[in-house]
Structure 1
Amino acid sequence: MRNKKIKAVIPVIFILSMIFTTIVYADDWYEKEDGYYTIYDQTSNKVLCLIAAKVSQGDEYVSDDNKLYEVIKVKDKNHIAYAKYKEEIKLPEISSTKQEALALMAKQQNRIIGIYHTHSDESYVPTDGTSSINGKGGIYKVGDALTASLKKDGVQVIHRQELHLPHDAGAYRRSRPTNKKILQQAPAAVFDVHRDAIPSEQYDFKVNGKPATKVRIVLGQKNQNIEKNKNLAYKLKAVADEMYPGMIKDIYIGKGNYNQDMAPNSALLEIGTHENKREAAENTANVLGNVLTVAVFGGQKQVAAENGQPSKIVKNTEPAQTDNTGTSGGLLIVLGIAIVLGVGYLFISNSGKELRSKFGDKFSSFLGNRKK
């Protein structure tokens, strides 16, 4: 009997390991500054992007011009990968006008956004003197700037200050309790704010005439909230493309989780890279709050004139906060996991033979009589 139960446990352990492997895979999201991958278009051999993380077959990438690619081949030894074009992404419609706009939409009761930093040490070399600080890195000051920007729009911000050192393969596990504390206050969205580790020219940008940085949105595809989080990312890019064209450089959807299984409307934001000045990243954060507010809560925002273009009003009538895109799919994944665990428990408790004797006849009658 004991041997039978041990044998029954083996497939359950295997299934559980597969589930939890996808959750902790995000802990591979760290590389040395010289360890980034280059992803090429398989057809044109054009460089699509550089990314300071482990690239895997099946990862997806949305370019600045909204083209979706899928990674089909990875050469880890050379840190290169190849991706094929799939389709053009249709972003949500965001309106803009040069004329006086209507009054802002009524403010929702739950105007709360959470911010934290899984990689606490991340810093900006030209300003902080190093790419990594054993404590609060420069990334916290960028988070402070983003917090101030959101507060100007009347948003309540939960900017957690916990450290999750060291910057290793356990950082995401250590930051989960921090994220949990944020979620206990029911925010409309949560952002894990980072800086990238690729050459600065990939992120150089200007906003309001000042040096700034671009922003990369990173999502984990292996969790039940992926469709909801994709919707948030697309909404952010659509709003930013109207307010500050070019600021959102791209969206990377990697194999992993990045703690985004804990709640929908979650995303990882890379604001600049280690080679950018921190002040440039802060300049981006000072206006990124406008993008987050309009994308998450809806409403409208006036954008100052720049590069010879007049000021304009950008309006979003479908806030990400109230959009239920992908919710049913997420529930199905959770239900599926629950069923697997439930069946596993029955195997452990009753052994496979006993389980078949209890439920076999019922399954047979449901599926039809089997031939003997």
Structure 2
Amino acid sequence: MKLLRRCAPAALAFCLMPAALAGEADEGVYTMVDLSGQPVMSMAGRIYVDDEYISADNLLYLVVEVDDGERRAIAQCLGAEPSFDEEAARAVFAYADGSKENSSESGKKLIAMYSTHSDESYEKGDGAASLEQAGGIYDVDKALKRQLEKLGVEVELDTTTHLPHDAKAYSRSRRTAEELMKLRPDALLDIHRDGIPDEAEYETQVDGEETSKVRLLVGRSNPNASANRAFAKQVKAVADEKYEGLVKDIFIGKGDYNQGLYPQALLLEFGTHTTDKQEAIDATKYMADVLNTVLYEDTARAEGAGSGSGAARSLLWLAVAAALGGLIYALISTGTLKNLGAKLSGGASELTGGLLGRREDDGPDNEDGDE
């Protein structure tokens, strides 16, 4: 009984701890090192074998071993990540362009945004890393919305909360994402902040202004993963050209992050909880310009340059690749040829996660994702 009385206050304190902090305490901060033991990066949330990482200088790492006890991932450097292919981009963007043509929103620039982890906040600016009533991440959302609107882009920002901050948060936010997809946006963005303690990892200067870096995350456990990755790579390529140092890196992790809903879905982390919130807000000005360039200016140039047989071949090859990728994904996910046949009856749209047509039902809610 005495032991129970001594333990009760601690247990009560844990129960009252904001869900985000409890979740981050469970997952912890993982450090990635190369084969020689040199640090590569760190991030809040689990890292798994076969996760991939593209560094600021575009080196590709593959996770080959994970020690969950030490929260350390060992990754092999595979060399330079292939540069972004603009012809492949035309095919990726063709899906969104086609859906817009069949929509009442045709002709508009439209980006949809939401935040899965609604409580995420910044200690410098919000006074805490987690605020359940009004997470500081929504100030970053609103700032990005304003900056995009200055560039003539309409933004549908859904401020629905998805608390608690736990493994089911992505299942809850999926419903929000599905509602946003009914508007047929050009991109679907999930806005976050990281949870590593070292703010220096996210510090940078852009055009002489102190600002936060932005990490891009792609979920590899979805049939749109190749297209999501291509989208992230183009965002990084444009950011590197226009605002060197803005994009920190790209993490390709186990999970879906609701990116199976759309080829042009992306998760962005603006700084970490120890970052000054104003620096995260300042980064939205540059990221808005990057997104506008990627989605509208670069795409228009690519379409103009690609009219003719070259673009047609590019589209055909991506369609074939998407179909093959979908078949492989379906076989892995169903486990048997019999179940694969049942999945095939759903059509190419279901297999490719919407890259080849639209799906009526996007399947069960996602339960993966630690970010």
Residues 1:179 and 2:177 aligned together:
yes
Give deviations 1:125-177, integer Å, cap 9, x for gaps: 01100000012311001011111111111111111110001111111011011
Cα distance in 1 for partners of 2:341, 2:243 equals 55
Is 1:196 aligned to residue 213 of structure 2? no
2:123: which partner in 1? 125
Task: Tell me how far apart the structure 1 counterparts of residues 239 and 224 of structure 2 sit (CA, whole Å).
Answer: 22
CA separation of 1:50/1:334 partners in 2, compared to 1, >3 Å: closer, same or farther?
closer
* Counterpart for residue 31 of structure 2: 38
Q: 2:35 is aligned with what amino acid?
A: Q
Paired residue for 1:63?
55
Q: 1:292 corresponds to which residue?
A: 291
> Alignment partner for residue 343 of structure 1, among 328, 338, 347?
338
Which among 67, 75, 79 is matched to residue 71 of structure 2?
Answer: 79
Deviations 1:234-286 (A, max 9, x none): 10000000110011111000111111111211111011000011110000012
Change (3 A) 1:258 1:30: farther
Aligned partners of 1:257, 1:328: CA distance in 2, in Å? 19
Give distance in 2, aligned partners of 1:141 and 1:213: 14
Question: Is the CA contact 1:110–1:187 (under 8 Å) kept in the aligned structure 2?
Answer: no
Structure 2 CA distance for partners of 1:86 and 1:299, relative to 1, 3 Å: closer
- So what's the TM-score if we normalise by structure 1? 0.71
Corresponding residue number in structure 2 for 1:366: none
Output one character per residue of 1:346-368: Cα deviation in whole Å (capped at 9) or x when no partner: 99xxxxxxxxxxxxxxxxxxxxx
1:43-84 C-alpha deviation (Å, 9 max, x unpaired) = 3x2211001010111100000010101000111101111100
Matches within 5 A, 1:261-276: 261-276=260-275
Relative distance call for 1:131 and 1:184 in structure 2 (3 A) is same
CA–CA distance in 1 between the matches of 2:333 and 2:210? Answer: 50
- Once the 2 structures are TM-superposed, how far is the Cα of residue 336 of structure 1 from its aligned partner? 4.3
8 Å contact from structure 1 (residues 32, 197) kept in 2: no
1:49 aligns to 2:41 (yes or no): yes
Secondary structure in structure 1 of the residue aligned to 2:74: strand
Gaps of 5+ in 1: 1-26, 95-107, 301-314, 348-372
Give the deviation of 1:91 after TM superposition.
2.4
Q: Give TM-score scaled by structure 2 length.
A: 0.72
* TM-aligned CA deviation for residue 215 of structure 1: 0.6
The secondary structure found in structure 1 opposite 2:261 is coil
CA distance in 1, matches of 2:290, 2:147: 10
Offset of residue 296 of structure 1: 1.8
From the superposition, tell whether residues 218 and 82 of structure 1 become closer, same or farther in structure 2 (CA, over 3 Å): same
Q: Secondary structure at the match of 1:291?
A: helix
Identity of aligned residues (%): 37
Matches of 1:281 and 1:224, distance apart in 2: 31
Structure 1 match to 2:155: 157
Q: 1:329 to 1:346 in 2, by over 3 A?
A: closer
Distance (Å, rounded) in 2 between the aligned partners of 1:180 and 1:128: 30
| Contact kept in structure 1, 2:121 and 2:131, CA below 8 Å | yes
1:35 Cα deviation from its structure 2 partner: 1.9
Paired letter, 2:159: Q
The residue correspondences of 1:127-146 to structure 2 (distance < 5 A) are 127-146=125-144
1:358 corresponds to which residue? none
Rounded to whole Å, the distance in 2 between the matches of 1:269 and 1:55 is 17
Q: State the alpha-carbon separation in 2 of the partners of residues 30 and 247 from structure 1.
A: 28
Output the amino acid matched with 1:185.
Answer: L
Separation in 2, partners of 1:162, 1:47:
37
Task: For 2:183 and 2:34, locate their aligned partners in 1 and report how far apart those are by CA, in whole Å.
Answer: 43
- Structure of higher CA gyration radius: 1
Structure 2: segments with no counterpart, 5+ residues: 1-19, 87-105, 305-310, 343-371
Deviations 1:104-129 (A, max 9, x none): xxxx8242111100000000001100
CA contact (8 A) 1:42 1:83 kept: yes
Report the alpha carbon displacement of residue 208 of structure 1 after superposing the two structures with TM: 3.3
Partners of 1:234 and 1:154 in 2: CA distance: 24
SS of alignment partner, residue 92 of structure 1:
coil
Cα offset, 1:335, TM superposition: 5.7
RMSD of aligned C-alpha atoms? 3.0
Mapped partners of 1:183, 1:316: distance in 2: 26
Tell me if structure 2 keeps the 8 A contact 1:112–1:157: yes
1:308-359 Cα distance to aligned partner (Å, 9 max, x none): xxxxxxx96369xx99656434543576489868935999xxxxxxxxxxxx
Contact 1:114 1:189 in 2 (8 A): yes
Q: How does 1:289-328 map to 2 (within 5 A)?
A: 289-299=288-298, 317=302, 325=318, 327-328=322-323
Q: Which residue of 2 aligns with 1:258?
A: 257
Higher helix share: 2
Q: Which amino acid aligns with 2:179?
A: K
Tell me the SS of whatever aligns to 2:25. Answer: coil
Cα 1:110/1:51, change in 2 over 3 Å:
same
Contact kept, 8 Å, 2:52 with 2:253, in 1: the verdict is yes
C-alpha contact 1:294 1:316 (8 A) present in aligned 2 = no
| TM-aligned CA deviation for residue 31 of structure 1 | 2.0
